[in-house]
Structure 1
Amino acid sequence: MPSVCAAPNCGKETESNLKCPICLKKGVSNVFCDQSCFRTSWNTHKSIHTAEDGSDDYNPFPTFSYTGDLRPHYPLTPRRPIPKHIKLPDYAKTGKPISEIKNDRIGRIPVHTPKEIEKIRKVAKLSREILDAAGKLVKPGITTEDIDALIHKECLKRNCYPSPLNYYNFPKSVCTSVNEVICHGIPDKYVLQDGDIVNVDVSIYYLGFHSDLNETYYVGDKAKANPDVVRLVETTREALDLAIAAVKPGLAFRDLGNIIEEHATKNGLSVVKTYCGHGTGELFHCQPNVPHYAKNKAIGIAKPGMVFTIEPMLNLGSYRDIQWPDNWTATTLDGKFSAQFEHMMLVTEDGVEVLTARFDDSPGGAVPRI
């Protein structure tokens, strides 16, 4: 019976018997197509092994100059399997979103048909259900890996593919960004502490369309009692709401950054410039690009039928960011906390429809400023 190649950049079925010797010692069978797959993927694959000293938890980048208190906690668990009946995006096996790459050369902002919009609404609702399941789980003592396991399970239960999984070889089904992590945090063995904040960024693929949303959650009562943390989280939440309120036909996408930065500045916060909102639909990421800072040069005017995200990332300190050696985790340059909120929306004939809006019983939500 064929196995799936364990190389993150392969994922093909293979009849090979070439197995990782370290995994075999642990009683785990990870098969590779050939020596080439094994060698080229070693630096990524070895992250699932325990440390050489036998410890259950280690920092894979001990010489890196971290800017805050957070550290990665390896080993990572192996890539979670996807049942054969679930429809896959084009990058699920190769790691390369070919359709996205080709579309970037065109630069066209998709306008969706009524039938497509109905499907997107269904996908957006499912993604909200999945995020809410994670939000109910967030508390001191759970790991970000626990969140990933739950998200993966909730996706499969709804016949959805977790969009981050193997997107440019991202190893997990969700992004979990703790404290100074701005975005793209990789779930691992880190145990959430009372006083932390964590952003859970859920994206799913279903019925041929992607949905994308995220929220930042307070971990325990200590976080809600910290005035600076509350100011950060609630200002970010408000900035997104203010930007959404401005969306209607004729809006220049570049103007959204002015609204967000004005509110951030009034509250003593900075706006991350490296990452932006984006179109989403048949592609995980596409036009328009939606920067969150003022005086940007984004191209495009909102028209009915366009679907995109706004996802401001605000920091307590500098807006500048730095990336960990895992090539994903983006943190603040000064190690101070960062927060993010994201909704996916549809431009209507006379305004906007928030496709990923919270339900009446959604966990989390605004808290009073201190």
Structure 2
Amino acid sequence: MFDRGIELKTPAQLRVMREAGLVVAHTLARLRDQVAAGMTTADLDAIARAAIAEMGATSNFLGYHGFPGVICTSVNDEVVHGIPGDRVIADGDVVSIDCGAVVDGWHGDSAVTVAVGEVPERVQDLLRVTEQAMWHGVSAAHDGGRVGDVGHAVQTYVASQGEYGIVTGYTGHGIGTAMHQPPDVPNVGRPGKGARLKAGMAIAVEPMITLGTSQTRTLEDDWTVVSLDGSWAAHFEHSVAITADGLWVLTAPDGGRAALEALGAPYAGD
């Protein structure tokens, strides 16, 4: 531990986190391939349950503060934390799927937003901007940096792409022996400010972007977060390890190599 209880991992521990991250990556890939109009969000949860079990891992979402699913399924104006259930997915919806897994006590956490069928160009742009904002945030992390560098990179990229709302009430986080650990990793920030980043840390970077307001409210289920103005939202997330040699995106199938190299960030994976 160092600096406010932030957990530092050994290379061997990061390798186990990579195993958990790959379980999440493969589960999300399966969901992305199979999601279709006419399915319910509970159907997606069943697919995820089977995938996580097949790979010998356990879910870190199921039972977390009473959460009943192994994934969060947030549709259209639902930003995060949607509970899988009997909602039927329609053609033209966007579905954010957040998934986590545990291997030998070490956690992985990642999210994607998927368009089902044809969606308007502005919605396609929302998904593109949110995913690229995540990669800009990941690429800004480095040994000796600050979490403000990450938030600033997300914020700056989103602002360069047009008028979008950056949800500020929810943040990324540290990850390791627990799914949520210090430090918080906001999606806005000032470079050089905030908690220090150090080799051995792992953080989850997860921008949540809307087509309108940055403000949200929580529904009566006490979980589902929606945009206050009803505008549609997207959410992308990766868990990334910070090493002395660069970055290793634990929940990306290629370790993040392609995206990091495209942004000029050092890749330090397997």
Q: TM-score, normalised by structure 2?
A: 0.89
C-alpha RMSD over aligned residues: 1.8
Whichever of the two has the greater Rg, that structure is: 1
Matched, 1:122 2:19: yes
Cα distance in 1 for partners of 2:179, 2:193 equals 19
Cα distance in 2 for partners of 1:254, 1:299 equals 5
Matched, 1:257 2:151: yes
Q: In the alignment, is the contact (CA less than 8 A) between 1:184 and 1:328 conserved in 2?
A: yes
- Name the counterpart of 2:30: 133
Which one of 106, 111, 119 corresponds to residue 209 of structure 1? 106
Aligned residue identity for 1:326: D
Which one of 58, 68, 84 corresponds to residue 171 of structure 1? 68
Cα distance in 2 for partners of 1:127, 1:228 equals 28
Cα distance in 1 for partners of 2:189, 2:165 equals 11
Q: In the alignment, is the contact (CA less than 8 A) between 1:177 and 1:186 conserved in 2?
A: yes
**How high is the sequence identity, in percent, across the aligned residues?**
32
- Name the counterpart of 2:242: 347
Cα distance in 2 for partners of 1:129, 1:203 equals 11
Q: In the alignment, is the contact (CA less than 8 A) between 1:184 and 1:329 conserved in 2?
A: yes
Cα distance in 2 for partners of 1:306, 1:357 equals 17
Cα distance in 2 for partners of 1:296, 1:290 equals 13
Which one of 181, 203, 216 corresponds to residue 321 of structure 1? 216
Displacement after TM superposition at 1:253 (Å)? 0.5
After the TM superposition, which residues 92-111 of structure 1 pair with which residues of structure 2 at under 5 Å, given as runs? 107-111=4-8
Matched, 1:247 2:141: yes
Higher RCO, 1 vs 2 (CA within 8 Å, ≥6 residues apart): 2
Could you tell me which runs of 5 or more consecutive residues in structure 2 were left unpaired when the two chains were aligned. 256-270
Displacement after TM superposition at 1:359 (Å)? 5.2
- Name the counterpart of 2:123: 229
- Superposed CA offset, 1:305-333 (max 9, x none): 11110000001000000000100000000
Q: In the alignment, is the contact (CA less than 8 A) between 2:146 and 2:192 conserved in 1?
A: no
Displacement after TM superposition at 1:297 (Å)? 10
Could you tell me which runs of 5 or more consecutive residues in structure 1 were left unpaired when the two chains were aligned. 1-102, 361-370
Matched, 1:272 2:167: yes
The DSSP-based 3-state class of the residue aligned with 1:162 is coil
Cα distance in 1 for partners of 2:186, 2:173 equals 9
Displacement after TM superposition at 1:174 (Å)? 0.8
Q: TM-score, normalised by structure 1?
A: 0.66
Q: In the alignment, is the contact (CA less than 8 A) between 1:261 and 1:271 conserved in 2?
A: yes
Cα distance in 2 for partners of 1:166, 1:348 equals 32
Greater fraction of residues in strand:
2
- Superposed CA offset, 1:130-159 (max 9, x none): 111111111111111100011111111122
Show structure 1 runs of 4+ deviating over 3 A: 294-299
Aligned residue identity for 2:59: P
- Name the counterpart of 1:299: 194
Cα distance in 1 for partners of 2:43, 2:68 equals 15
Displacement after TM superposition at 1:294 (Å)? 3.2
Q: Figure out how many residues of one structure are paired with residues of the other and give that number.
A: 253
